[in-house]
Chain A
Amino acid sequence: GESVGLHLPTLSVQEGDNSIINCAYSNSASDYFIWYKQESGKGPQFIIDIRSNMDKRQGQRVTVLLNKTVKHLSLQIAATQPGDSAVYFCAENSLGSWGKLQFGAGTQVVVTP
């Protein structure tokens, strides 16, 4: 079936460097995408979202890029900090099914000093 997936299961980043986390999706009906951060034993924490009518959105230290042509989503974290160490998930929401999210596999980000 259609799914959201990630290219890299683990990303090791040096403190202060930029991180890029990638996500591929296959459901062309998806119109809303969200990035979540999950720390061990906790629920997902919203980071940033983007609608399908946009290709870029910026937040505080984070940027999400959406390429609908190749069905690709990325999360960029600037000046990665130790507190950014967590698992990051992309999630998609299809038009007409608000709130029903399909999550990608997740990427473990490890920030090294």
Chain B
Amino acid sequence: GAVVSQHPSWVICKSGTSVKIECRSLDFQATTMFWYRQFPKQSLMLMATSNEGSKATYEQGVEKDKFLINHASLTLSTLTVTSAHPEDSSFYICSASRNTGELFFGEGSRLTVL
């Protein structure tokens, strides 16, 4: 079964609202998780590195005030898309690393902003 779970798997929201996506490591602790964004028929692009107990590290061009990341525990990272607009509609995917070094991806969360 899945070792990294995302919730919700899909969400539709109105423009201007905020949406929170959760990423959980189910049977291991992850001090670091990663958030990716994937537009239709495109590749995954790394958005940010989520660090437990400290601030996230954002990739160049990703607005930290737009995409709020909170890694409050060793098994949970959340991505909040604030004041979402249609151009934020995308497939958001997280990954987490077990202490053995194995990387696991979540099943993704599809956001549609109307």
Contact = CB atoms under 8 A, between A and B. Distances in A.
A33 to B, nearest CB: 12
A43 B97 contact: no
B107 interface: yes
Interface in A1-44: 34, 36, 41-44
At the interface, is chain B mostly helix, strand, loop or mixed?
A: strand
B31 to A, nearest CB: 10
A90 to B, nearest CB: 10
Given A43-B107, A104-B43, A98 B93 contact: no
Contacts, number: 49
Interface in B98-114: 101, 103-108, 110
Interface size class of B (residues with CB under 8 A): 20 to 34
A100 interface: yes
A62 interface: no
A105 B38 CA distance: 11
Contact of A105 (B6, B43, B46): B43
A44 B32 contact: no
Interface residues of A, number: 19
Interface of A: 34, 36, 41-46, 89, 91, 98-106
Interface of B: 6, 32, 34, 36, 42-46, 49, 91, 93, 95, 97, 101, 103-108, 110
Closest 7 A/B residue pairs (Cβ): A43-B105, A103-B43, A103-B44, A43-B107, A43-B108, A99-B97, A44-B105
